[in-house]
Structure 1
Amino acid sequence: MKNPAEYYSQQYNARAAIPDHPRIFTRWLKDSAEVRRGQAGLFDLPYGESSGERLDFFPTSRSDAPLLVFIHGGWWRSLDKSDFSFVAPAFTRAGFNVALPNYTLAPQASIGEIVLQQLRAVAWLYRHAEAYDFDPRRIVVAGHSAGAHLAAMTMAAVWPVFGDDLPADLVKGGILMSGIFDLEPVRHAGFVNVDLKLEEADIAVLSPALMPQAHPAPFITACGALESEEFQRQTRLIGDAWKTGHRSEVPLPGLNHLTICDAFADPSHPLHLASIDLLHAVK
């Protein structure tokens, strides 16, 4: 590799590879606004003290149902939970509660601080299961892009360390979509590391693929066939690293780094159906 900085910047700059990304983001905004107008939901519930530590909760009609926690991407530095409300309806209609946590965006927060915020969010949800009428024994995390990294970090977490009341198997399953699981290449991608400020010492403690899965919860992975070689390699990497829990990689022909989210929210798409199967399977 002659120029790692140039190569990794090209490989990881997903928006540059999707010319119509502004149209996709606009559609997500419109669809999400319509969901918030038309579907029951609780918005901006505080799970911590900072302004970024807020989450939205979309209940299903069924009592004591599982909870899907969806963590949004945006290179840890952009987008918002409200941009992704559109993912909730297909799951709530299928009988699952959905929570979408926010986090403080980089560079105002480091990736390490963002990881801790997501651990706080999931722990807060577990502790408030009775109040929001979901089953705390069936919490599944999902994430896209940087959100998949954060979801994986909740699966690598040794939960009893963060609270005596938290079980080791707090996270019962995972859905990891187009994620970044080894952060070493990101350190060389100048277009994003200008905000993330990753250094060599950060990589081992922030890369889930370099850690054991704390509990062998089942999980699926997915990456669009139109995505870069690096995003596809990262997806294979976490599947290989956590073989015991890895159920399958869902093939996604014709999809890119953004349209994978549309597939996740589409009740007829194989990615959505595989996600539903996982949610049904967790005990």
Structure 2
Amino acid sequence: MTPKHQLDLRSRHPNFQTFLDINERESKKIRDNYTCFLDVPYGNEPLQTLDIFPSSIPNSPILIFIHGGYWKGLDKLSYSFIAEPYIKNNITTCIVNYQLIPTVTMESLLNDITTAIQWIISKATMYNGNSNKIILSGHSAGGHLAVLSYLLTENIQPKIQAICSLSGIFNLAPIQHSYLNDILQLNTTDVHKFSVSNKDLSRIKCPLLLSVGGNETDLFIEESKNLYLEHKEVAPITYYEYADLNHYEIVHKLGQDYNLLSEFICATAVQ
């Protein structure tokens, strides 16, 4: 079994609520201060919705962010704060919700993500976006889903300019053999099908940035570092470790100006 202390982040960081409160407070501020379209449906189910913060000029790049929560929790409304540096740089930002396990399976959850991406592509011009200039990003489970959705959906690949994955989990075997599987119910077939680490990453043709906090658990650090080391010769992957940040803190960097993550997104958006 995977040691619980490697995955139970709330026990590792008893002040986790402080970080979640920051997310909520900063997200409300962004929704209050910028033009946004909230709870836009891309499907018929209640959680098949996204929040869109449009660029002020037509034909702008699009950033898509996928939240984490171990595929079973959290909500897009807590991540509106991510949009600010990209709105200021004329990048339309879309923050995606999706149905959660155990209400759906991992396969259905992934289908929500790819459906949302394809919806955004089809509606891009309505929100001043360019459907051929898309950056995928995500944190934790969302970091996994950002990379996996690219690998498993060939028709979106030419439209993706970059992927920014924070604190992703790329080998699902440790999840299957952990306390989390009481809810996730992943079987061996699921682990093989929905892991990233066993895929052919030479199919990735856009820049992929893997980033993790140096104060995260060994498991989270190794997930990103190992994916980089094992595939850097066949794919345009870079790895960056934020020395002192934990799992809750690193996602804040994505919503701030003048750091490696936001500058990576802004730079690849204009290529």
User: Which residue in the other structure is 1:245 paired with?
Assistant: 235
TM-score by length of 1: 0.90
User: Which residue in the other structure is 1:198 paired with?
Assistant: 186
Give the AA of the match of 1:198. L
Contact map agreement 2:216 2:247 (CA 8 A) in 1: yes
User: Which residue in the other structure is 1:53 paired with?
Assistant: 48
**Counterpart among 78, 84, 87 of residue 92 in structure 1:** 87
Provide, for residues 206-250 of structure 1, a one-character-per-residue CA deviation record: whole Å limited to 9, x for no partner: 011211234422111100000111111110233245434334212
Aligned-partner Cα distance in 2 for 1:208–1:86: 28
Question: Shift of residue 272 of structure 1?
Answer: 2.1
Unmatched 5+ residue regions in structure 1?
Answer: 161-166
User: Which residue in the other structure is 1:163 paired with?
Assistant: none
Structure 1 runs of 4+ aligned residues shifted over 6 Å read none
Provide, for residues 160-202 of structure 1, a one-character-per-residue CA deviation record: whole Å limited to 9, x for no partner: 4xxxxxx542322100100001100001111x21111111121
The size of the alignment, in residue pairs, is: 269
User: Which 10-residue stretch deviates more, 174-183 or 11-20?
Assistant: 11-20
TM-score by length of 2: 0.94
User: Which residue in the other structure is 2:247 paired with?
Assistant: 257
Q: SS of the counterpart of 2:163?
A: strand
User: Which residue in the other structure is 2:258 paired with?
Assistant: 268
User: Which residue in the other structure is 2:198 paired with?
Assistant: 210
Residue 223 (1) aligns with residue 218 (2): no
Structure 1 residues 238 and 279: CA distance shift in structure 2, 3 A: farther
Residue 186 (1) aligns with residue 175 (2): yes
* Equivalent runs, 1:86-235 vs 2, <5 Å: 86-160=81-155, 168-190=157-179, 192-213=180-201, 214-235=203-224
Give the AA of the match of 2:165. L
Q: SS of the counterpart of 2:197?
A: helix
Aligned-partner Cα distance in 2 for 1:241–1:123: 30
Contact map agreement 1:219 1:278 (CA 8 A) in 2: no
User: Which 10-residue stretch deviates more, 206-215 or 80-89?
Assistant: 206-215
Question: Shift of residue 144 of structure 1?
Answer: 0.2
Root-mean-square deviation (Å): 1.5
Unmatched 5+ residue regions in structure 2?
Answer: none
Contact map agreement 1:239 1:246 (CA 8 A) in 2: no
**Counterpart among 38, 60, 71 of residue 33 in structure 2:** 38
Give the AA of the match of 1:156. L
Give the AA of the match of 1:178. S
* Equivalent runs, 1:15-26 vs 2, <5 Å: 15-26=10-21
Provide, for residues 82-128 of structure 1, a one-character-per-residue CA deviation record: whole Å limited to 9, x for no partner: 00001101111022110011001111112211111000000111111
Contact map agreement 1:73 1:148 (CA 8 A) in 2: yes
Aligned-partner Cα distance in 2 for 1:210–1:170: 24
